[in-house]
């Protein structure tokens, strides 16, 4: 158990809908990352927050957004969902955003868009 908690574990929704994925980082970790894992794209970095502020952006679609709250939990919002958004979404956390820090991953949220 990495200490990173993600909910829900599984989610099935229809095209055009909006969902919110939630993440609680490890105790004491200030940095949160979101990754998407799909068969065709592999593991793709989406976005990073550090202590409530956006720190880096990767291949995140405009239909997707995220935030990190004062209690350091984070949410990833996915809207106008398409079939191609079906994937495993990982949240991860680290103590800071120093490059040498280990990033610990949650078990992911499986999203299926039908």
Judged by the rule CB under 8 A, the positions of this chain that interact with another protein are 2, 4, 33, 42-43, 45, 48, 55-56, 58, 90, 92, 97-100, 102-108
CB of 69 to another protein, least distance (A): 21
DSSP-derived letter for residue 102 is P
CB of 87 to another protein, least distance (A): 14
Nearer to another protein, 14 or 99 (CB): 99
CB of 104 to another protein, least distance (A): 6
3-state helix/strand/coil string of 24-92: ECCCCCCEEEEEEEECCCEEEEEEEEECCEEEEECCCCCCEEEEECCCCCEEEEECCCCHHHCEEEEEE
């Amino acid at each position: 158990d990495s200490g990173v908690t993600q909910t829900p574990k599984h989610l099935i929704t229809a095209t055009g809908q909006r969902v919110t994925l939630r993440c609680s980082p490890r105790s004491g970790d200030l940095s949160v990352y979101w990754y998407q894992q799909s068969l065709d794209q592999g593991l793709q970095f989406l976005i990073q927050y550090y202590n409530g502020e956006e720190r880096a952006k990767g291949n995140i679609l405009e239909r997707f957004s995220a935030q990190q709250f004062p209690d350091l939990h984070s949410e990833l919002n996915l809207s106008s969902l398409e079939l191609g958004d079906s994937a495993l979404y990982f949240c991860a956390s680290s103590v800071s955003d120093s490059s040498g820090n280990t990033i610990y991953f949650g078990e992911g949220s499986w999203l299926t868009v039908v």
